[in-house]
Structure 1
Amino acid sequence: MQNKTAGRKDIWSVITLGILLLYALVLVLPLFTLLKESIFKDGALSFEHFGEFFGKKYYYSTLFNSLKVTVAVTLASLVIATPLAYIMTTFKIKGKLYLQILILISSMAPPFIGAYAWILLMGRNGVVTNFLSDVFHITTPDIYGFSGILIVLTLQLIPLIYMFMMGAFKSIDNSLIEAAESMGYTGFKKVWKVIMPLMVPTILAGSLLVFMRALADFGTPMLIGEGFETLPVLIFNEFTSEMGGNAGFAAAISVIVVVIALTIFLLQKFITNKKSFSMSALHPIKEKKESGIKNILAHLFVYGYLALAILPQLYVVYTAFLKTSGRIFVKGYSLDSFKAAFTRSGDTIVHTFTLGLIALFFVILIAILIAYVTVRRRNAITNGLDIISMVPYIVPGSVLGVALLLGFNNKPFLLSGTATIIIIAFVIRRLPYTIRSSAAIIHQISPSIEEAAASLGASNLKTFFKITLPMMLPGVISGAILSWVTIISELSTSILLYTVNTKTMTIGIYTEVIRGNYGVAAALSTILIAITVISLLIFFKLTGRKEVSL
């Protein structure tokens, strides 16, 4: 029996070490190369690149711009998402089921599509801009620059905090609320003094995710920044400069971004550990049917937010069916934009599915193994694997793109310009979704089931594939679909890695917008939005849920 047990441990030890070596090759090595490139110049240790960044206002101002955007977006998202989640939890809102799905869908489309939509609506020649100017002679605020970035990213990222908050509100025991009300705490005072302190860990977790997403976003400031340059845009411009680029300088900026992200991540973890506690709602908060002004205001808030969040995307879909003359929309409807999209950018659709599905296969395979060993085989090595698997959660996409190009630009690992490097980027960036959902469901599977199978003579691997894996499938499928949705909307990494043979739909949309071909861009955006919606509907159908837990 001891030999069999040792053999069972050995096979999972081999799997664990194999995955660690894989991470060392595709993640640690590129990040180490990035650090090396930032502190060495002409073969000698030098901090000249960092001195150049902090020595010129043009460069270090992008750091303040990025912090300004991320902090403002995080606070704005929090201010809107908190009452939105509270209302959706405690009020009976008409059409709540469909509203929750639409809120989720609004967060899944790439942010730069939202930026493109707002250009069509409130750009210098936008529909709303022209309407207000021609009819009411009102000059609308400029959608470009900081204000535009703030609007687009806030509307895009509110659902992330909303989903965290919804889960937390549902875990609060209603008896606490009733006890507070019996002591005279009602209305805003009840929310501020009783409910909000219970939400601190959730608020920090949701805020961290929004902060990371806003810090890493490339497409939105690139499209509507117009002089308001952020760190991801600066990294891209420096690395891909027409004058040959400056890899060392881009690497130094990337290191600065990683340090900022890591600092915020560790700070959030520290505060959360101080404030953390568990809640078990034996009597969860129940929604109530309100009346009068309170009910009207609640509905106006929810529907007003959703209109701002989803209507820009719907307008993009609408413009996809408009006739075009050259680069401009004209009266009438047609499918010409879709025909042009398939003619000129059909390969991008094929590449999106081909590269995405290959990446998804490896995401599922690796995530299943990582989730199992980190839950069932806990030790120092698997704990290390658990930590390293979450590093892509911290590293922005543009930084990872630069790291991969620097790490795989020489033999024997010459992968730049190939489909392999994009697949690697997709896999390591989107693994955390499937790992977390798979690990969550393994925690719900009693180890005694596996022990029973082992006592009947089943080998460790046979027990895993015949017993554990089938029980894991709901969690695996849940995470895989979310990984798929984020893979097909990836831009910040793939924009640095792609070639004509690996151009995906997001890159196709981005390049068409830059060229001013709004009809084709709208058609491709519509196709991408449709794929996203269908993927989420499949998620809801297979899991039986109407919301996504984060």
Structure 2
Amino acid sequence: MQRTARTGASPLLSRLSLRKWDFWTFVIIVGYLFFFTFIIYPLFNLFYASLFDENGSFSLANYGDFFRLKYFRNALLNSFLVSGLATVFAILIGVPMAYITTRYNIGCKGLINILIIMSLLSPPFIGAYSWILMLGNNGFITRFLHEIGIPFGTVYGWKGIVFVFTLQFYPHIYLYVSGALKTIDTSLEEAAESLGHSSFRRLWNITLPLIFPTLSAGALMVFMASFADFGTPMLLGQGFKVLPILAYEQFISEMGGNPAMASTLSAILIICSTSILFLQRYFVSRKNYAMSGMRTPKVVKLRRTPRILLTLGALVVVCISMIPQVTVVVTSFIKTKGPVFHKGFSLDSYKEILFRVPRAIMNTYSFSLISILIMIVFGLVLAYIIVRRKSKWTAALDGIIMIPYVMPGTVLGISLIIAFNKPPVLLTGTWIILVVAYVVRKLPYTIRSSTAILQGLDRGVEEASISLGVPPMRTFFKTTARLMIPGVLSGGILSWVTTINELSSTIVLYYGATATISVTIYSEVFTSNYGTGAALASILTISTLISLLIANKLMGKKGLNI
């Protein structure tokens, strides 16, 4: 009884937690089997393959070649360059945007929020494709600038990659920092103001240090997303290589790839991502950021002119972020012939994709639907054992589930092929391996959404049901699961959006019959079929918008749980 009192759990639930081999024990076992099969085992095979040379002999030559050859070292430095710069610029945009929208009574806040989330959920490679249409070698903005005598290069190269990453990922900073600024305790800010600190000094010395854990988490998301992205550097690089591209090229090459080196590059990608994660946690753990949270900030009411100026400034930023989505929708209705756009509008691009690639459209939605159904079921039961059945086993399982956070999509695809490219489990070349990749890659987001909802539910409802003689399993499905469903569905819809837009893992795992919209867009852009590429990208954009509105409706006044 004393042990029960210390943990805060009721005697009834404590006795239930001691029972062995009940339904939840079965869930834990199934969870371990699934994640060991599709995360731990593929990763082990990946690292194991990196320790053998092309002749099958045990060797560290691949790692030696990586650090010896400038070609590979430069790819690593390039990855850090574009990811680091994108993170810095995302902070420079995201923090002021978050501060303005949370601290001042600017107009159009709802519109700004929905547009920012919309730009975040759109895949980066569509942004890259859109900027190629505008600022590429033959882009319409490029041609216009040349016609009026303004010299302009192109969007290609590392500068273009950083530009696209910044506009794509600054919403991570905005969303994280906005949440922190809304709940920060203003006592310290008011104390600094009473001591004569200027607004800038108060922001720099007080506000930013207080929100550093949240800001660093957002910066980590930006860095990891940029570091792992495949599509944008592939479309815009033109010779500028980053690690995900090299891993893909080494693994899948028409001239004869080097799977061992691809495994080595993938292992280095994971090591770098994990190191950045632990580095961020180290800096956060060095100081105590606890606040009482008793006095949340009040929104400052601005005079008319400053309010208009700040509103226009925020709208300009989000409108620039939305240019890629608008561009693909508009250009999808323009008459085209290969890479050349002609005057006038038509539906020819849509007719062509319905005739040429209907299977890719069906694949995208069918594979994603299967994946999301699995994620919702897994999200419900795994979140329950993580939150309600805490133990060293569930804590370890929670850690395993989070591994895909630091796994780039290309690395996940390569590891799954290495693990399941031979009997007894031959999944390579089937649609099943794509579904597995989507579930493994996106499940952490659904589980995090589910755990957040479950932590806010009172245990008393479950205890009352069990005390009336309803078994724990039936209690979960009849009461707890029903209460969790709205939040879980909203998280599932957001996972659905990222799944239909997934390119990095799909491009490694697909073959002709299992191609999806994202892979087809990628192929159409590389063959200069810009009209059909725009039509397919428009389908993804509209799907994203509809999904976002549905998720927002499900969450109601709480807003989106991103």
Relative to the length of structure 1, the TM-score reads: 0.96
- After TM superposition, list the pairs within 5 Å mapping 1:289-304 onto structure 2: 289-291=301-303, 294-295=306-307, 297-304=309-316
Aligned equivalents of 2:342 and 2:549: distance in 1?
A: 34
Q: Match of 1:111?
A: 124
Specify which of 292, 298, 301 is matched with residue 286 of structure 1: 298
- Aligned-partner Cα distance in 1 for 2:389–2:528: 54
Q: 1:150, 1:493 → 2: CA distance?
A: 22
String of CA shifts for 1:455-485, please: whole Å, max 9, x gaps.
2211110111112111111221121011101
- SS state of the match for residue 344, structure 2? strand
1:422 aligns with 2:444: no
- Residue 258 in structure 1 maps to residue 264 in structure 2: no
- SS of 1:332's equivalent? strand
Specify the alignment match of 2:77 in structure 1: 64
Matched, 1:221 2:228: no
Out of 344, 364, 387, the residue aligned to residue 375 of structure 1 is: 387
2: distance between equivalents of 1:546 and 1:512? Answer: 40
**1:298 Cα deviation after fit:** 2.1
Once the 2 structures are TM-superposed, how far is the Cα of residue 289 of structure 1 from its aligned partner?
Answer: 2.9
* 2:319 counterpart SS class: helix
Normalising by structure 2, we get a TM-score of 0.94
- Aligned equivalent of 1:123, options 120, 136, 146: 136
Q: Which amino acid aligns with 2:164?
A: V
1:130 partner letter:
R
Number of matched pairs = 549
- Partner residue of 1:396? 408
Which whole-Å CA distance do the structure 2 matches of 1:286 and 1:60 have between them?
50
Superposition RMSD in Å: 1.7
Tell me the distance in 1 between the aligned counterparts of 2:184 and 2:319: 29
- The structure-2 alpha-carbon separation of the partners of 1:5 and 1:384, relative to structure 1 and needing over 3 Å to count, comes to closer
SS across alignment from 1:100: helix
Structure 2 Cα separation of the partners of residues 152 and 320 of structure 1: 21
Aligned to 2:281: 269
Amino acid at match of 2:150: I
CA distance in 2 between partners of 1:334 and 1:276 (Å): 60
Amino acid at match of 1:123: G
SS in 2 for 1:501: helix
**Whole-Å separation in 2 of the counterparts to 1:159 and 1:311:** 15
Q: Which moved more, 1:177-186 or 1:354-363?
A: 177-186
Distance in 2 separating the partners of 1:108 and 1:515 = 26
| Unmatched tracts of structure 1, length 5 or more | none
Task: Provide the residue aligned with 1:44 in structure 2.
Answer: 57
Whole-Å Cα distance in 1 between the matches of residues 324 and 23 of structure 2? 52
Deviation at 1:331, TM superposition (A): 0.2
Letter in 2 for 1:132: L
Q: How far apart are 1:412 and its partner, in Å?
A: 0.6
Which amino acid in the other structure matches residue 530 of structure 2?
Answer: Y
Is this contact kept in 2: 1:321–1:335, CA < 8 A?
Answer: yes
Letter in 2 for 1:253: L
Alignment of 1:154-169 (within 5 A): 154-169=166-181
In structure 2, C-alpha distance between the alignment counterparts of 1:385 and 1:29, rounded to whole Å: 15
Please give the alpha-carbon distance, in whole angstroms, between the structure 1 residues aligned to 2:101 and 2:368: 34
C-alpha displacement at 1:132, in angstroms?
1.2
Q: Contact 2:97/2:314 (CA < 8 Å) preserved in 1? A: yes
Equivalent residues of 1:171, 1:279 under 8 A apart: no
Counterpart of 1:522, as a letter, is A
Moved more, 511-520 or 181-190: 181-190
- Residues 23/235 of structure 1: CA separation in 2 closer, same or farther (3 Å cut): same
Aligned partner letter, 2:90: S
Structure 2 CA distance for aligned equivalents of residues 360 and 511 of structure 1: 26
Distance in 1, matches of 2:18 and 2:397, equals 21
What is the match of residue 3 of structure 2? none
Please state if 1:133 is matched with 2:143.
Answer: no
**Residue deviations 1:189-232 (CA, integer Å, cap 9, x gap):** 12112211111101111011111100000000000101111000
**5+ unaligned residues in a row in structure 2: which ranges?**
1-11
Among 357, 363, 372, the alignment partner of 1:351 is: 363
Three-state SS of the structure 1 residue aligned to 2:112 is helix
